[in-house]
Amino acid sequence: MATVELHITAREIREGDRFVLHGHERTAAGNTWPIALRGHVHIRFEGGGDAVVNGSRPITVTRAVEEA
């Protein structure tokens, strides 16, 4: 598997994406999902922990992709 760097919004984070949030490198334990706060999403982290951020927040992720 290869990896690519993508510039996306927080609402587009998928399971396995690696990114820096609040000064710490994180890996998403699952896809983000919307919460009751208007426009915000919930992100669970591998190894425990989570965050709630604005879904429009720009974020750069490293994502594993199938090689062609």
- Assess contact for 27 and 39: CB atoms under 8 A: no
d(CA 6, CA 35): 24
Q: Above 90 in pLDDT, residue 67?
A: no
Residue 24 confidence (pLDDT) = 95
Q: Which is it for the CA torsion 38, 8, 60, 58, positive or negative?
A: negative
Give the mean pLDDT of the chain: 94
Band of the pLDDT at 12, cuts 50, 70, 90? very high
Band of the pLDDT at 37, cuts 50, 70, 90? confident
Domain around 42: 2-65
Locus of tokens 């490293």: 62
d(CA 12, CA 30): 11
Residue 30 confidence (pLDDT) = 97
Which domain CATH number covers 51?
Answer: 2.30.30
How many folded domains does the chain comprise?
1
